[in-house]
């Protein structure tokens, strides 16, 4: 099966091709602009075709004006020559002319000629004006001008010359053909070039895809960002970050499996030995002793399994960058300490609680912080001798910081081993206390996830040199800024 084709049919149908998307966004505007370009070209072609013929109409007005002469009075004029001889002859278009006096009376020319616009009639229009109109039912282009006729007692006259539009339309069509026809060849060529350019443009993506598909399933190394196009680099970097997180998760799983296999081998072997020994015993007293050892080993194995599972939960409980909710830390601490009072009394040990203030709010995960304090108290109860003291203290140590302290009167921890105790399965030698070596590793993991500062000190209140005691101090950040889980 091709890995690139995996997925449900619905996902395959809904998937959109990047190549198709880009092609659509490039060709759709092109096809939309093409008719607009044709219409714009048509208007431009008409304007270009009209220009020389408009100048010819201007010349006709000038020629016609030179042929005017007065007959009996300044208001009576005639053309000195035949208009057909003066005006341009044409086999395709007709020419019309008209001469008007200031009152709009026709002095000469075609009587069906529409009069000039009212806003210019009777005024001195010294420059030729143009308009579109109808003469004898034919669409024409009209040029008109008002000028002074320089005769004695001269008069002001208006001359209009019109021409049908056949030559203009022919020239405009020729221009359009010269511009539009090549586009029928250019447009398909442009589509082919765009298609080819897109194929070349996404070729690096194809090569990148082949490299990813050719990877081994356990290869989580980053993808070189310089092998991807600039536009895809953010996606590659995000994918590399995902690979990095996935690598951490897989490493955590491998470490958990290795730790569990290593640590469970001894208690399981002890359980089997105790069970086999009990089977061989015939004395009821010895059988009872073997069964008690079996129960003790079972409790130790159970505690080890629970701590291994807690460590796994701690590493994957929340994702990095996930916002933590607010919680009341003093209430949580009070509840946890109350749960440990029966065990402290059983040893017996004096378990005390000191809380300086109320409503001590922090950003945190309730289950994880409860597990943190449970492990600290379990560790303190294990190492504190009978008649000893354990004090849980919660106060504002520094501005913007809330500090949780767990203080005991046990044998203490040498300074050179205070960093090592937070490693998995590390135990201080010579204590004679049973344990898995996971409790403080869990504490460190949870503290780091909450951006808290974890430190270890001697108990400053201890008065017995044999038992300097231990003080675990965890400083939580204030609520001024929303907290997020820190990268492990």
Residue 351 has pLDDT above 90, yes or no: yes
- In this prediction, residue 187 carries a pLDDT of 76
- In this prediction, residue 478 carries a pLDDT of 72
Handedness of CA 102, 103, 106, 112 (dihedral sign): positive
Q: pTM for this one?
A: 0.46
- For residues 343 and 381, the answer to whether their CB atoms sit within 8 Å is yes
- In this prediction, residue 117 carries a pLDDT of 79
Of 168, 179, 189, the residue nearest 37 (C-alpha) = 179
Residue 38 has pLDDT above 90, yes or no: no
- In this prediction, residue 335 carries a pLDDT of 93
Q: What is the mean pLDDT of residues 34-56?
A: 81
Report the distance separating Cα 219 and Cα 449, nearest Å: 27
- In this prediction, residue 76 carries a pLDDT of 53
- For residues 449 and 486, the answer to whether their CB atoms sit within 8 Å is yes
Residues β-bridged to residue 362 = 327
Q: Which helix (H) or strand (E) holds 341?
A: helix 329-346
- Kindly report, as residue ranges, where domains of CATH 1.10.287.130 are found in the chain: 227-314
**Which residue has better confidence, 210 or 6?**
210
Q: Tally Cβ neighbours within 10 Å of residue 249.
A: 13
Of 338, 316, 22, the residue nearest 197 (C-alpha) = 22
- For residues 437 and 424, the answer to whether their CB atoms sit within 8 Å is yes
Share of the chain above pLDDT 90, in %: 11
Q: What angle do CA 155, 159, 162 make, to 5 degrees?
A: 175
3-state secondary structure of 480: coil
Q: What is the mean pLDDT of residues 464-484?
A: 78
- In this prediction, residue 299 carries a pLDDT of 73
Handedness of CA 416, 419, 421, 424 (dihedral sign): negative
Residues β-bridged to residue 314 = none
Please give the class, per CATH, of domain 319-477: alpha beta
- For residues 157 and 142, the answer to whether their CB atoms sit within 8 Å is no
- Kindly report, as residue ranges, where domains of CATH 3.30.565.10 are found in the chain: 319-477
Q: What is the mean pLDDT of the chain?
A: 76
Report the distance separating Cα 463 and Cα 467, nearest Å: 8
**Which residue has better confidence, 267 or 364?**
364
Q: What is the mean pLDDT of residues 8-18?
A: 51
Q: Tally Cβ neighbours within 10 Å of residue 402.
A: 23
Q: What is the mean pLDDT of residues 281-301?
A: 78
Handedness of CA 143, 66, 93, 113 (dihedral sign): positive
Pick the CATH number of 227-314 from 1.25.10.10, 1.10.287.130, 3.40.50.800, 3.30.70.120: 1.10.287.130
pLDDT digits (tens, 9 = 90+) for 125-179: 568 888 889 888 889 899 888 876 544 445 678 888 888 888 888 888 888 878 7
Q: Name the most confidently modeled range: 125-129, 207-211, 301-305, 353-357.
A: 353-357
- In this prediction, residue 488 carries a pLDDT of 43
Q: What is the mean pLDDT of residues 103-125?
A: 70
- In this prediction, residue 332 carries a pLDDT of 93
Q: Is 115 exposed, middle or buried (0-12, 13-18, 19+ CB in 10 A)?
A: middle
- In this prediction, residue 179 carries a pLDDT of 77
- In this prediction, residue 100 carries a pLDDT of 81
- In this prediction, residue 307 carries a pLDDT of 64
Residue 67 has pLDDT above 50, yes or no: yes
pLDDT digits (tens, 9 = 90+) for 354-370: 998 778 889 888 888 98
- In this prediction, residue 322 carries a pLDDT of 57
Q: Tally Cβ neighbours within 10 Å of residue 121.
A: 16
Q: What is the mean pLDDT of residues 30-51?
A: 79
pLDDT-wise least confident of 70-84, 129-143, 249-263, 381-395: 70-84
Q: What is the mean pLDDT of residues 113-124?
A: 63
199 contact partners, CB below 8 Å, separation of at least 6: 19
- For residues 285 and 322, the answer to whether their CB atoms sit within 8 Å is no
**Which residue has better confidence, 219 or 79?**
219
């Amino acid at each position: 099966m091709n890995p690139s084709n995996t997925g449900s049919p619905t996902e395959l149908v809904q998937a959109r091709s990047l190549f198709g998307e880009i092609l659509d966004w490039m060709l759709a505007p092109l096809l939309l602009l093409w008719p607009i370009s044709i219409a714009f070209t048509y208007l431009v072609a008409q304007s270009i075709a009209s220009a020389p013929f408009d100048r010819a109409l201007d010349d006709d007005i000038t020629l016609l004006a030179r042929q005017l002469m007065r007959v009996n009075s300044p208001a009576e004029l005639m053309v000195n020559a035949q208009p057909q001889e003066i005006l341009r002859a044409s086999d395709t278009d007709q020419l019309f002319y008209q001469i008007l006096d200031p009152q709009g009376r026709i002095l000469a020319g075609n009587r069906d000629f529409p009069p000039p616009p009212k806003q210019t009639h009777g005024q001195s229009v010294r420059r030729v004006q143009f308009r579109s109109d109808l003469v004898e039912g034919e669409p024409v282009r009209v040029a008109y001008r008002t000028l002074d006729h320089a005769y004695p007692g001269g008069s002001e006259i208006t001359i209009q010359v019109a021409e049908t539009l056949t030559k203009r339309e022919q020239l405009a069509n020729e221009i359009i053909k010269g511009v539009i026809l090549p586009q029928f060849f250019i447009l398909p060529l442009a589509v082919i070039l765009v298609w080819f350019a897109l194929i070349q443009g996404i070729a690096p993506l194809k090569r990148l895809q082949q490299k990813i598909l050719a990877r081994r399933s356990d290869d989580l190394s980053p993808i070189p960002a310089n092998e991807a196009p600039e536009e895809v680099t953010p996606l590659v970097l995000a994918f590399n970050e995902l690979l990095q997180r996935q690598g951490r998760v897989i490493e955590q799983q491998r470490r958990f499996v290795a730790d569990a296999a290593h640590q469970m081998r001894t208690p399981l072997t002890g359980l089997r030995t105790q069970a086999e020994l009990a089977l061989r015993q015939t004395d009821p007293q010895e059988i009872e002793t073997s069964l008690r050892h079996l129960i003790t080993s079972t409790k130790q194995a159970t505690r080890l399994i629970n701590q291994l599972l807690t460590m796994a939960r701690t590493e994957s409980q929340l994702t990095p960058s996930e916002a933590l909710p607010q919680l009341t830390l003093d209430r949580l601490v009070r509840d946890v300490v109350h749960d440990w009072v029966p065990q402290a009394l059983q040893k017996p040990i004096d378990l005390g609680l000191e809380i300086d203030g109320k409503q001590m709010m922090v950003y945190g995960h309730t289950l994880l912080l409860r597990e943190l304090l449970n492990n600290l108290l379990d560790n303190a109860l294990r190492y504190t001798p009978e008649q000893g003291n354990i004090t849980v203290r919660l106060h504002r140590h520094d501005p913007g910081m809330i500090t949780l302290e767990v203080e005991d009167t046990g044998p203490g921890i040498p300074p050179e081993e205070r960093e090592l105790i937070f490693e998995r399965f590390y135990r201080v030698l010579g204590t004679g206390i049973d344990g898995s070596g996971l409790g403080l590793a869990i504490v460190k993991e949870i503290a780091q996830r909450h951006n808290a500062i974890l430190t270890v000190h001697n108990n400053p209140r201890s008065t017995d040199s044999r038992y300097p005691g231990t003080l675990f101090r965890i400083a939580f950040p204030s609520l001024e800024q929303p907290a997020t889980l820190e990268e492990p």
